[in-house]
Amino acid sequence: MNCGTNAHDIEAFIRDLEACTLPKIRWTHHAHLLVALWYLTHHPPDDALDLVRRRIRAYNEAIGTANTDSGGYHETLTRLFLRGVAGHIARHRNEPLPVSLAALLQSPLGSKDWPLRFYSRERLFSVAARRDWVETDLPANESGDKF
């Protein structure tokens, strides 16, 4: 992973994101998970959602990625992953952040395709889902996956 594996590296990564100086190549799926884990660990869920929204949008603009109906910030994906990460935190609450992060990245949430367990591709990548939260449209799968 390219966003740090110890507490110091994680804090430096968050500082770079917040300053909008993080190199674009480091803004990966795993980086998004780190951001969710960081903000949910340091803030109540509603505050974390607001902060993550603002940070991602600002970072996207700083690196030249427009937040539009077809690219940039995606509300449903953000909320879905925050919910999934909140569940992860509940299961790993006694672990140090780097250990929790390592477990998160090895979990099903570590896969970019995790949301497709709950959403059809058409619904998930719709304009409505990008702009606001949309409910899942796939029935619960046999493994009982939850977010």
Q: Indicate whether 35 belongs to any domain.
A: yes
Residue showing tokens 């803030």: 43
Q: Residue 68 is part of which domain span? A: 7-131
- Report the distance separating Cα 99 and Cα 125, nearest Å: 32
In a domain, 139, yes or no: no
pLDDT in tens, 59-101: 999 999 999 999 999 999 999 999 999 999 999 999 999 999 9
**147 in a domain, yes or no?**
no
How many distinct structural domains can be found in the chain? 1
Structure tokens at 138: 């796939």
Judge whether 137 lies within some domain: no
The conformation of residue 68, written as its DSSP 8-state character, comes to: S
Higher per-residue pLDDT: 68 or 3: 68
